[in-house]
Structure 1
Amino acid sequence: MVETMTFWQSQKKLLAGVALATVVGALAISAPVQAATLRMAWAQDATGLDPHKQTAFSSLRLLELIYEPLVRLDANLNIVPAIADSWEFSADGTSLTFKLNPNAKFHNGEAVTSADVKASFERILDEATGAATRANFLSISSIETPDAGTVVFKLSQPDAPILTAMTDLNAAIVPASEIAAGTIGTKAIGSGPFKLDQWEPDSKEELSTNKDWAGGAVALDGINISVLPDETAILAALRTGQVDFALLNDPLVATLVPREANLQLNRQPGLAYNVLQLNPSRSPMTELGVRQAISCAIDRQEVLDTALLGEGQVTGPLTIPAYATDPKELFCYTPDLEKAKKLMADAGHADGFEATVIAATGEPPVAASEAQVIQSQLAEIGIKLNIETMELNVYVDRWLKGDFDMAVAQNGGRADPYTMYNRYWTKDGNLQKVSNYIDDTLDSLMKQGRTETDPAKRKEIFAQFEKHLAEVSPWIWLSTSYNYTAQQKTVHGFVPTPTGTLFGLTKVTLD
């Protein structure tokens, strides 16, 4: 039985056309597969193997099959066991105790112990690591390991969302021995359902089933992943039966899948969001009026309809259904060119200015199209927007450094507003270089939302946070979209989730 403190129980209610020859050649590099090996494809490969540092969706989709956090989210966004069997908060909310699954083992045969959990979180908290989710765990004051199967997190204050934060792949548990050896990121040794046997970047991955996985039996012998040139090539491979299962991101391709008699499209509304990120540290985006003018000039529905074929919903900053505000209630979500022009003039930029927006070529595949629509819309208020596209690894490097005027991005959602945004919009946020904006109101509301345990009060706090964030407009939120996977009808048991995880492959069987 999983135990939690009262405030978590109450909070949980709120979580409620490429040539076929090209495809054949790309697939031919993989060795012949066994009958129970899933043949999978995607168009964007992982950019690295360090689970604590990776932010690209393509990296997370691979690593979540190899590594495990203490707890994870199920398809309904409920927190369920992973490495931990059970957990319990102290009555005052300042202590969180986990009991580990005694059968959990790393791929190297070592048992997963409390020492590994402690070493993993100390690595995440070490600022030198550059961990993507560090800011979510700053309330941890110490970590105690009374025995090999028990770990106790001592907290400096009640922290309502910390358990949700621990479901993140960026909070995966890695072997203390590998941390000491300095091999995290060069080898992939986790405790998850699959082992990484081979990785040829931008070519293929071969995974075998971890027969000792404490999570239970997996029907597959393994997964062979081919990295194909683009999603049109993936569709061609699905049509010809060379691929069993595929991850898709492009609605232009995904919407073609249902036309194929032998294929099935899995289409799940996601928590991730498409966004135009402004850089408020660069003039003239330093000026509130300019940022607001950009927000008023952008027709979000037109961006959605044109670049994503209408596959999604216009959204504000919060995409979690239990917390989201109706976009109509947010600042300038109804396009208003006259207001935008006046804001520009009042800010001293009646004649506009020139800026550059960066976009990755592969993640998401609609980024360049979004940028083109935005370019046309901002031209109406005198902004000449140049578009610079680049490979994902180059984009991620630029993005993490905040080296852009504007950026078209697709960022991951989370099941709790605090874990979703504190790394960007608090003074201690570890991705402040990306957001380049913070004010006392955002910081204060985030802190209140972190310690408040009453669900209704938390909802009101984050409603204020969302409205303020939309009004000061450091970013221009555009839309949510769908998580797509496609499969042969001989594939059974995969359950898609709002987070886009591929963890459901553990339940897959093949005819």
Structure 2
Amino acid sequence: MSSVCTRSGNTSFRIHLTGAYRDEVLVDIHDGTGLAIERTMDERMNVLMRDAKRKEVVKMKRRSIFQYLLVLVLVFGALNQVQAADTPKSGGVLRVADTASPPTLDFMCSTSTATRVVGTHIFEGLMAYDKNYQVVPMLAENYEVGADGKTFVFRLRKGVLFHNGDEMKAEDVKACVDRFIAVSPRKRDLADLESVNVIDDYTIEFKLKKPIGPFLGILANPVALLAIMPKEAVEGKPLNKADIIGTGPYQLVEWIPDRHVKIKRFKDYKPLDTPGSGYAGKKGAYLDEINFVPVTEPGARVAGLEAGDYDFADFLPGTNVPDLKAEPRLAVKPLMPFTWPVMYFNFKRIFKDIKMRQAVQAGLDLESIMIAGSEGEGSGRLDPGLYFKEQVWHSDIGKQYYNQNDKEKARRLMKDAGYKGEEIIVVTNTSYEYMYKSAIVVEQELKEMGFNVKLVVLDWPGALALRKDLSKWDMFFSSHSIRFDPFINNFYFLPETTFFAYDNPEMAKWIRKGMDSVRFEERKEAYDQIQRIFYEDAVMIKLYDLGIWQGWQKHVKGYEPWYMLQFLNTWVEK
């Protein structure tokens, strides 16, 4: 008697070709119990009615035997391969071509994207955003909110270790909050924090002067994250001078500015047992090391990915995507949404006149601008929302003012405003190609409407330096990345924090309502009203939603584009 055996999981299949009955096959099906009983065809039919997991005897012609055997081997062999491919493996180095070198690794001190990319692997906060942009506990085990909405008590997870081997305690949390208030560019977020009180080693209390609707979102915001670090790493440390010690799945090895940042697996990391989701849940540290290399030139990122110098490359030019997709060893996917390009008006100069702002709003052909700036199918879309379609805060209020593409209306509004050909200074930059290319089309559109336009092109640092002087520009190109909570945009619209001199008491009223309420429905209504005023007042011009292209070698597994670079639950398979 000859036999062939295959296995999938706990179930094995053994197929016997008997010598006595050369036209009969016995198929043993084991479900992990080790039981297998031979039966004839008639018996098999009876057994199948009672127990489909028992051993079966199937009578068939010899010509069919090998076809049946081959199908089993192929099917269950393929299943085994799929299961193996989906199983994370530890080890290996991931080489990442990023777009910029971080200005600092002191996470709470910088809003830089490059700092965020590295920092989210090293640091964690009390709370975190999941992939659906909901706030959930991270270093906090749970929390309670007082009846008045002004007291939050957090119980910390026990046994969480810092990279220096010390256990995280409530005193560490308090020290980090104190430093955040002293040095973070987001310190205004906690302006209404009355006190932070250590109850015991694993319990900490926050008392607020008044209810703050987005308080949990403030703690979870990954932009200049309120990262929890050892007390001795932050206490008395000035801006950008904290010791880079966190609780995250990776720890710092080496940072050489403009050359690389190397991080390695933290062997004592304690992941959560909930599924990984965004910056929340289980964070699998499968890679031995991640090497972030700043590659500022897009063409160099493309060439390095094609040559195999990098395992992953961010922000790939759309014009290169078709060729990269044709490479069988590469995977290329869009990260959508990523940001939305915007033009700010300077309310200190000619655009203090609402009719002038409305003229620009009415005349622009946003589709043409999007095509030029997004460079590739799938990386741009038109939508009026100040928050992306994927977010619970999305709204299309004001859509009648978006992408009007009405040049005649624009000219009428310019005439009503008394425009007499004054020079309009538009500032863009070459550091972000989509801003530069969008500005080229906007310049043409404005000239077609009848504006006298001067386009000023600088690098990003130079543009930011010029923006501080409100006497030297009229329109300014920038972009808004994902805002996990709308309060992050408040500073644009408040007279005490805006950088373009905007002041509207009705806008400020709705911002206060959005901040003071702790109920989602009330906050959603407030920010819907803010979007209405945004369009009626033509505060700035939203151009389009922009996605970016990312590419990686196919031996990189587990990576899914979301928000920005993060290699939690990612591994390499070579």
Q: 1:375 aligns with which of 443, 446, 464?
A: 443
SS of 1:196's partner is: strand
Matches within 5 A, 1:3-14: none
Partner of 1:182: 237
What is the one-letter code of the residue matched to 1:472?
Answer: D
Matches within 5 A, 1:190-269: 190-215=246-271, 217-248=284-315, 250-254=317-321, 256-269=323-336
Q: 1:149 aligns with which of 202, 213, 224?
A: 202
**CA deviation string 1:459-505 (max 9, x = no partner):** 332221101112212321111112443111111111222x22x3343
CA distance in 1, matches of 2:456, 2:168: 45
User: Structure 2 vs 1, CA of residues 394 and 314 (structure 1 numbering), >3 Å: closer, same or farther?
Assistant: same
Q: Is the 8 A contact 1:425 1:443 kept in 2?
A: yes
**CA deviation string 1:170-201 (max 9, x = no partner):** 22234432333425524533322222322222
Q: Is the 8 A contact 1:136 1:422 kept in 2?
A: no
Give TM-score, length-normalised by structure 2.
0.75
Matches within 5 A, 1:39-438: 39-126=95-182, 129=183, 131-169=184-222, 170=224, 171-182=226-237, 184-186=239-241, 187-215=243-271, 217-248=284-315, 250-254=317-321, 256-270=323-337, 272-281=339-348, 283-309=349-375, 311-316=379-384, 318-321=386-389, 322-326=392-396, 329-359=399-429, 361-362=430-431, 364-398=432-466, 404-418=473-487, 420-427=488-495, 429=497, 432-433=498-499, 435-438=500-503
CA distance in 2, matches of 1:110, 1:381: 64
Q: Is the 8 A contact 1:316 1:330 kept in 2?
A: no
Q: Is the 8 A contact 1:89 1:95 kept in 2?
A: yes
Q: Is the 8 A contact 1:41 1:228 kept in 2?
A: yes
1:348 shift after superposition:
2.3
User: Structure 2 vs 1, CA of residues 382 and 173 (structure 1 numbering), >3 Å: closer, same or farther?
Assistant: farther
User: Structure 2 vs 1, CA of residues 485 and 100 (structure 1 numbering), >3 Å: closer, same or farther?
Assistant: farther
Structure 1 runs not aligned, ≥5 long = 1-33
The one of the two structures with greater contact order (alpha-carbon pairs below 8 A, sep at least 6) is: 1
What is the one-letter code of the residue matched to 2:535?
Answer: A
Q: CA RMSD in A?
A: 2.6
CA distance in 2, matches of 1:83, 1:160: 21
Structure 2 runs not aligned, ≥5 long = 1-89, 272-282
SS of 1:59's partner is: helix
SS of 1:505's partner is: coil
CA distance in 2, matches of 1:71, 1:396: 32
Q: Is the 8 A contact 1:194 1:209 kept in 2?
A: yes
CA distance in 2, matches of 1:146, 1:114: 8
User: Structure 2 vs 1, CA of residues 197 and 504 (structure 1 numbering), >3 Å: closer, same or farther?
Assistant: closer
What is the one-letter code of the residue matched to 1:272?
Answer: T
CA distance in 2, matches of 1:486, 1:413: 21
Q: Is the 8 A contact 1:317 1:469 kept in 2?
A: no
Partner of 2:16: none
1:50 shift after superposition:
3.0
User: Structure 2 vs 1, CA of residues 271 and 408 (structure 1 numbering), >3 Å: closer, same or farther?
Assistant: same
CA distance in 1, matches of 2:476, 2:336: 23
Work out the percentage of aligned pairs sharing the same amino acid: 24
1:264 shift after superposition:
0.9
CA distance in 2, matches of 1:72, 1:313: 28
User: Structure 2 vs 1, CA of residues 495 and 339 (structure 1 numbering), >3 Å: closer, same or farther?
Assistant: same
CA distance in 2, matches of 1:386, 1:254: 33
SS of 2:446's partner is: helix
Q: Is the 8 A contact 1:271 1:320 kept in 2?
A: no
Across the two proteins, how many residue pairs are aligned to each other?
A: 466
**CA deviation string 1:380-436 (max 9, x = no partner):** 233343333434444455557777533211222223222x3123223554xx23x43
CA distance in 2, matches of 1:396, 1:245: 30
1:324 shift after superposition:
2.4
User: Structure 2 vs 1, CA of residues 153 and 345 (structure 1 numbering), >3 Å: closer, same or farther?
Assistant: same
Q: Is the 8 A contact 1:41 1:243 kept in 2?
A: yes
Partner of 1:470: 535
User: Structure 2 vs 1, CA of residues 204 and 94 (structure 1 numbering), >3 Å: closer, same or farther?
Assistant: same
SS of 1:276's partner is: strand
**CA deviation string 1:128-169 (max 9, x = no partner):** x3x332333333221111122222111222222221222112
Is residue 510 from structure 1 mapped to residue 563 from structure 2 by the alignment? no
Partner of 1:496: 561
User: Structure 2 vs 1, CA of residues 345 and 53 (structure 1 numbering), >3 Å: closer, same or farther?
Assistant: farther
CA distance in 2, matches of 1:209, 1:229: 26
User: Structure 2 vs 1, CA of residues 388 and 119 (structure 1 numbering), >3 Å: closer, same or farther?
Assistant: farther
CA distance in 2, matches of 1:396, 1:173: 30
